[in-house]
Amino acid sequence: LINTARGPIVDQKALTEALQEKRIAGAGLDVFEDEPSDASDPLFALDNVIVTPHSLCWTDQCFAEIGAADVRAMMAAMVGEIPEGVVNRDITSNAAWLAKLAGYKDRL
């Protein structure tokens, strides 16, 4: 079993039991049900488990794009536009938030 998505997708206690009983051959994980993980978790003592740090994007290109996206978002906000990548899309229809956003444009 490989889980590099989100820890809670896998029931970690059930996975540990399945690995201990050899019902599955092994697991490769970089995410866990609870993070930070407890170092004493029995999962980490198993020889049929490989764990690594969760590294979403560690390339020069990724870092450059993250920086560029941040700059684009700030520039959009500075001229009163809704930035790309707003996680809470509901806020984009909130009158108070839109008024605050419009206020940035007036400062230029």
Judge if 64 and 102 occupy the same domain.
Answer: yes
Q: Please report how many Cα atoms fall inside a 13 Å half-sphere around the Cα of residue 65, on the Cβ side.
A: 7
Per the CB < 8 A criterion, the answer to whether 17 and 8 are in contact is: no
Given the DSSP bridges, would you call strands 2-3 and 49-51 parallel, antiparallel or unpaired?
unpaired
Residues marked as catalytic: 6, 35, 54
Please identify, among 29, 51, 73, the residue that sits at the C-terminal boundary of a domain: 51
Residues 47 and 17 grouped into a single domain? yes
Q: What is the dihedral of CA 76, 81, 82, 85, to 10 degrees?
A: -20
Give the predicted TM-score (pTM) of the model: 0.53
Q: Are residues 43 and 21 in the same domain?
A: yes
Segments forming the whole domain that contains residue 35: 2-51
Of residues 62 and 96, more confidence is placed in 96
H or E element that contains 27 = strand 27-29
Tell me what the mean pLDDT of segment 70-85 comes to: 92
pLDDT in tens, 14-67: 999 999 999 999 999 999 988 888 889 999 999 999 998 777 677 888 888 888
pLDDT score recorded for residue 86: 87
**CB–CB of 81/59 below 8 Å?**
no
What total number of domains does the chain contain?
Answer: 2
